[in-house]
């Protein structure tokens, strides 16, 4: 009978299996990942460094596809996304890209030091490549054109 008493004692000393899942560590990890992605997302923008002109225009709405950008650098050279592209190859490369895309939207980023003539030439090439929906990219914070206050006098 002493042995029976020992067995009961051992059972009471054992830890019972836990029937609940503790999700607190899971939630903590997910919140940390959320914060990391929120901080890192703005840093993942594609771009070649250029001085964009500032305007008072609002930002364009985003698409499902990654936006396609063509950049005119300060020295007049061209880039598709981050890849430098020769002027003679621009239309051919864009036509190959257009064949794979569903959208005809393209963004043109031009350094503010470029002449309007150069920007218009590249816009014509974009149109020739099949992109009719061209958005000009600018920085926010520029001055807005307003009517003079004493225009009625």
Percent of the chain with pLDDT over 70: 77
Q: Do residue 75 and residue 38 come from a single domain?
A: no
Distance CA 129, CA 90 (A): 8
126 assigned to some structural domain: yes
Q: Do residue 122 and residue 93 come from a single domain?
A: yes
Q: Do residue 76 and residue 133 come from a single domain?
A: yes
Tell me what pLDDT residue 151 has: 52
Q: List pLDDT tens digits, range 8-50.
A: 555 556 777 777 888 888 899 999 999 998 888 877 765 667 7
Q: Do residue 35 and residue 55 come from a single domain?
A: no
Residue 53 structure tokens = 């002109």
Q: Do residue 57 and residue 35 come from a single domain?
A: no
Say how many C-beta atoms besides its own lie within 10 A of residue 131's C-beta.
23
CATH number where 94 lies: 3.30.420.270
148 assigned to some structural domain: no
Those residues whose C-beta lies under 8 Å from the C-beta of residue 103, and which sit 6 or more positions away, are 63, 65, 133
Tell me what pLDDT residue 39 has: 86
Residue 142 structure tokens = 């520029």
Tell me what pLDDT residue 33 has: 93
Tell me what pLDDT residue 63 has: 52
Q: Do residue 34 and residue 101 come from a single domain?
A: no
Band (pLDDT 50/70/90 cuts) for residue 82 is confident
Domain that holds residue 73: 47-140
152 assigned to some structural domain: no
Q: Do residue 73 and residue 135 come from a single domain?
A: yes
Residue 114 structure tokens = 């470029």
Beta carbons of 129 and 98 less than 8 angstroms apart? yes
Whether pLDDT at 51 is above 90? no
Beta carbons of 105 and 131 less than 8 angstroms apart? yes
């Amino acid at each position: 009978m002493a042995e029976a008493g020992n067995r009961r004692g051992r059972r009471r000393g054992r830890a019972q299996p836990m029937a609940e899942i503790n999700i607190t560590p899971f939630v903590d990890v997910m919140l940390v990942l959320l914060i990391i992605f929120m901080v890192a997302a703005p840093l993942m923008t594609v771009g070649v460094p250029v001085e964009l002109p500032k305007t008072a225009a609002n930002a364009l709405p985003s698409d499902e596809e990654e936006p396609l950008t063509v950049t005119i650098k300060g020295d007049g050279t061209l880039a598709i996304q981050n890849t430098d592209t020769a002027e003679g190859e621009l239309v051919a490369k864009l036509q190959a890209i257009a064949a794979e895309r569903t959208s005809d939207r393209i963004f043109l980023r031009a350094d503010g030091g470029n002449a309007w003539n150069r920007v218009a030439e590249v816009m014509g090439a974009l149109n020739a490549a099949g992109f009719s929906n061209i958005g000009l990219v600018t920085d926010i914070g520029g001055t807005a054109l307003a009517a003079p206050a004493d225009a009625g006098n």
